[in-house]
Amino acid sequence: MQQQPSTQSNQQQGFISEPPQVISTKDHSYINDMLSWNLLAMKKAYFYAENCQDPEIKEAITQAGQMHQRHYERMLTHLKPTTEQPTVQ
Domain count, the chain: 1
Q: Kindly state whether residue 2 falls inside one of the protein's structural domains.
A: no
Q: What residues make up the domain containing 60?
A: 23-79
The rounded mean pLDDT for the chain is 83
CA 70, CA 62: separation in Å to the nearest integer?
12
Q: Has residue 32 been placed in a domain? A: yes
For residue 11, being part of any structural domain is answered with: no
> What pLDDT digit, counting tens, does each position of 26-64 carry?
988 999 999 999 999 999 999 999 999 999 999 999 999
Residue 40 in domain = yes
Indicate whether 6 belongs to any domain: no
Whether residue 39 is contained in a domain is answered as: yes
Instruction: Compute the distance between CA of residue 68 and CA of residue 39 in angstroms, rounded to an integer.
Output: 7
Please state the pTM of the whole predicted model: 0.66
14 conformational bin, left if phi > 0, alpha if psi -120 to 50, beta if neither = left
